[in-house]
Amino acid sequence: MKKLLLLLIIGFIGTILVTSCKKKGCTDATATNYNEKAKKDDGSCLYKPFINVIGASDSTISVGTSFTDPGATATNKDGSSANVTSIGQVNSSTVGDYEITYSSTNENGTSTAKRTVHVVVGLDNWIANWVVSSDCGAAFPLNNTPTISLGTNSNTLVIDGMFSISIPSIPIILPNGLTIASGGTANATVNGATIIVPSQSYDAAGVGTITYSGTGTMNASGNEFTITYTYNNDLPAISGAGQCTATYTKQ
């Protein structure tokens, strides 16, 4: 019995010794003085400021859209505010990825956080009135002031006033007394800065047809794009087939 009691006493003392010998220190991995060897937190943890980026830290805007940095706030561990400075800016007039870095410092160190803004060619950059210059000539008679509007979904467009047809040497009068119509619409799809005009036809009042397709790209400022067209025109006096390039500049 005495032997059993002695063993219990020794075990109890050993437990106390092991517990008391646990290394103390800061056990919070977010603290500046975190001690990975510490087994018991002694309340000594020190913290840099905590930064809160106001709004989305990663966002996308259309080129040409105004951008105002919402900024960031910083607080110390005790809830008091800390000053925040920022480096970097967003040039919303040019396509690109931009970063703003926020920093805040207290006696325990400096914290940083980032905001990323992607400036891209968006759908709204395409929807506008445009002025056209081209080398297309009479066989592909583009109207020089078309309007682009939204199509049936978020990646389709309608080009209103696609053509301006004039055949001065051979005035054509249809049986119903109508002349060849100018205008017409074209359908297009967009994906970022790329525009595709799928193969389609314009029927000029039953007298002839212009079949065409094209692909193009918007510039980094979102105010000009170029389409290369392939066409086949069988209208009297201005018929022809080929390829040409048109540049659309935002009004």
Element (H, E) at 3: helix 2-20
pLDDT in tens, 203-226: 886 778 999 999 999 999 999 999
Cβ contacts of 211 within 8 Å, gap of 6 or more: 199, 200, 201, 231, 232, 233
Amino acid (1-letter code) at residue 131: V
Q: Which amino acid is at 240?
A: G
Please name the residues in contact with 68: beta carbons below 8 A apart, sequence gap of 6 or more: none
* Strands 109-120 vs 128-134: parallel, antiparallel or unpaired: unpaired
Computed over every residue of the chain, the mean pLDDT equals 88
Distance CA 86, CA 71 (A): 8
Report whether pLDDT(110) > 50. Answer: yes
Cβ-contact 197, 188 below 8 angstroms:
yes
The predicted structure's pLDDT at residue 241: 98
Residue 133's pLDDT band (cuts 50, 70, 90): very high
Per-residue pLDDT tens digits for 220-240: 999 999 999 999 999 988 899
* Calculated CA dihedral for residues 13, 16, 21, 23, nearest 10 degrees: 160
pLDDT of residue 16: 42
CA distance 114 to 157: 36
Q: pLDDT tens digits, residue range 137-186?
A: 999 999 999 999 999 998 999 999 999 886 544 444 444 444 455 678 99
pLDDT over threshold 60, residue 10: no
> Distance between CA 71 and CA 53 in Å, rounded?
7
d(CA 190, CA 32): 50
Q: Residue 3: which pLDDT band, with cuts at 50, 70 and 90?
A: low
In this predicted model, what pLDDT tens digit does every residue of 70-106 receive, in sequence order? 999 999 999 999 999 999 999 999 999 999 999 999 9
For residue 31, pLDDT beyond 60:
yes
CA dist 247 and 112 (Å) reads: 45
pLDDT at residue 175, as a whole number: 47
Mean pLDDT across 238-243: 95
Per-residue confidence band for 23, with pLDDT thresholds at 50, 70 and 90: confident
2 vs 26: which has the higher pLDDT:
26
Percent of the chain with pLDDT over 70: 84
Helix then strand then coil, % of the chain, to nearest 5: 10, 45, 45
Distant-in-sequence contacts of 177-186, Cβ < 8 A, 24+ apart: 178/205, 179/205, 180/204, 180/205, 180/207, 180/235, 181/205, 182/143, 183/143, 185/158, 185/159, 185/160, 185/161, 186/158, 186/159, 186/162, 186/212
More confident residue, 12 or 116: 116
- Token pair, residue 139, equals 């066989």
Q: How many residues appear in the chain?
A: 251
Q: Are 40 and 23 in contact (CB under 8 A)?
A: yes
Question: What domains lie within the chain, and their CATH numbers?
Answer: 45-120 (2.60.40.10), 123-250 (2.40.128)
- The pLDDT score that the predictor gives to residue 167 is 57
- What mean pLDDT comes out for the span 26-52? 93
CA torsion angle 45 51 57 62 (round to 10): -160
